[in-house]
Structure 1
């Protein structure tokens, strides 16, 4: 028996309502109420039948409203890119273009979207790890890598879409490059005099790796903050470094002493050479003067042999007596008697001969000057007439 038949149990209907209670809403009635509300909002008369003049007015209002909403939506497509940024435009998630600084427009969301990337921001990562060197030693290295997104048109695109985590990729590239460079170097070189070479090679290799992965990143610099052996062997390694420093200090001291000795020897050699040259010039000049003097005496001797012999004798006696002590005894009579100290003369002559045989070179300060040589060779200084 149906629930609404006579005599049936009409206390409840299928929707759980009792008799005389409201049943489920009618779909047509719901649509009519919604249309009446919209007509009231946009100036229509809810009591007018469908198809009247009020419907035309409501349609025009809706068109104007939709146009206004479309205009507002299109205005959301304008965006500004700052000088330090690059704008990456995507359409439904697919890359479209990269825009530079200035005012631009794109189809608003959800059709197109723009992501702004700061290409002048300097970023940094710290890396610290234990590395095995070529000589099978372990060294602890800590460095800082500074980088930024490249300024080329494709760099911003690659940074966003080509690699899932570009910064993490750079970190892994840094470790890989550092292990390759340190693994081909000795521990002493890495810790002392080749740290600049390690950082320079690491910069080039890291950039090569991130370029191969097309991450869009540009490595600015790699700075080694610390490089030391593991903590367990630091004391022993400090002793080795101290011994090496002492060795270098001793080498530098020895090199300094060597340079001083060489310079002093060079100066002494130069002095001896100059003295020898001066002595040579003196001997040559003296020989030339004696030759000229002998030639003049020979000419005079050929003219007057007797007078020349007498003059030579007197000059010789004058030279001998001038350099020796002598005693004059006044004897009454016709002449004075001269007494010569022969023992002293012989002693002086022997000393003179010994000095001539000595091979040492005389000092330039004891050499006679050219004026003295000229005076000695001048016949007038010896009493020649």
Structure 2
């Protein structure tokens, strides 16, 4: 038999690799055959074989070619291991019945005002007529009950169609669920990641959220177990990144953005918010003091081509309102109210634009939010 690529391929159709029902030609184990006079190079692609299995296959090929074609042929093998792509993070994608949109409020840095932003934006949207809920996902440091004056409340257990559910606590028209309702004020939650994730999933799916236009997820600092549990469990419509303009905070904000932009997570960033942008004194209200730096988040948004939702200055009254459990954004005719109204409207606009232009992460797209004046109706 003449020594050429065709004759070798024909002979090798009689060879089968371990665990395969197809021969090594049909299954693609033999990737290429090159013949140079009486020298033959054979490229093999195998699924992570043992050394013994690889040597056995090579010996079988050599014996067959020597017997059927030419006993003087010199055979060289180039064996590559087939790359197995890593599976994407599996998403449970359980739909929360009645919840229209889920928005994550995040920043990998702690103490930048995520909870303050969450509470005040939720309160503003509720004031505009939207149905709003907050899930306090900061298992180790829940602060939402304090900011909405519901410390010490214990949610009730109710029956919905024969199934036990937790009735969320309601404050200022916002439905709330937090691990803080199930622990004492001075009690530290010392749990490993899996236990914290399990508790979080129970709060998500065992709560009777009812009909909501928006469910805000107030995330803890970092990019750890809690964040991964949420993106695996819920089809999050988008994330808002909150940061101060300080370089140290911006570095962590970048990491938080990159987490959501990973292919295996792929949650759209709706926008960036700069908190503690500047301070003005009563004596000189026209002079801005940029304590943490100037416009850092705005520059970051421009650099990463992400929408900038707005800036929130340092307000003494906002801090006092949070400590007393009343959202500062509800202060009538105030600068704080105007700031949060503008940011809330921009956020909703970006959310609707996101659902129009990007593949949905949930079954039902937003069409209209009945009674919610944050959505500007087109004439």
TM-score (norm 2): 0.17
TM-score (norm 1): 0.17
Greater fraction of residues in helix: 1
> Which structure exhibits the higher relative contact order, with contacts defined as CA atoms closer than 8 Å and separated by 6 or more residues?
2
